[in-house]
């Protein structure tokens, strides 16, 4: 389950940030997760509960911003929501599209004390 390894790297980032801020507790963590980031939310929740045990994030509230994927057509420049890489442009039917949003996976903010 790759979600757990991602949770572990989020914990590592949070730990570094907290050390940097001389904080020992993280109260809240906010994450941006794109709908095309490859993360399965049910697996994520499970991995999170397992992963944060006995870490600086154990009691932190985790806020997740789910980001809907969007693509831009390389041919006609239309922007549209997308679910799969192979979805064509709804305007002209072109398959050469660029994902402009939805692959995010990042720690947006941390509240420490």
Give the footprint of Zn ion on this chain (CB under 5 A).
73, 75-76, 78, 89, 91-92, 94
Q: How far apart are CA 3 and CA 99, in angstroms?
A: 22
Shortest separation between residue 89's beta carbon and Zn ion, angstroms: 3
Q: Which is nearer to Zn ion, 45 or 77 (CB)?
A: 77
Shortest separation between residue 5's beta carbon and Zn ion, angstroms: 36
Q: Which is nearer to Zn ion, 28 or 75 (CB)?
A: 75
Shortest separation between residue 71's beta carbon and Zn ion, angstroms: 10
Q: How far apart are CA 70 and CA 86, in angstroms?
A: 13
Q: Which is nearer to Zn ion, 98 or 113 (CB)?
A: 98
């Amino acid at each position: 389950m790759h979600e757990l390894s991602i949770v572990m790297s989020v914990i590592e980032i949070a730990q570094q940030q907290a050390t940097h801020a001389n904080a020992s507790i993280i109260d809240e963590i906010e994450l941006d997760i794109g709908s095309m980031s490859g993360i399965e939310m049910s697996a994520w929740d499970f991995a999170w509960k397992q992963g944060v045990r006995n870490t600086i994030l154990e009691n932190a509230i985790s806020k997740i911003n789910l980001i809907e994927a969007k693509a831009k057509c390389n041919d006609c420049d239309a922007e549209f929501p997308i679910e799969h890489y192979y979805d064509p442009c709804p305007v002209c039917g072109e398959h050469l599209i660029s994902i402009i949003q939805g692959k995010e996976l990042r720690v947006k903010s941390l509240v420490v004390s």
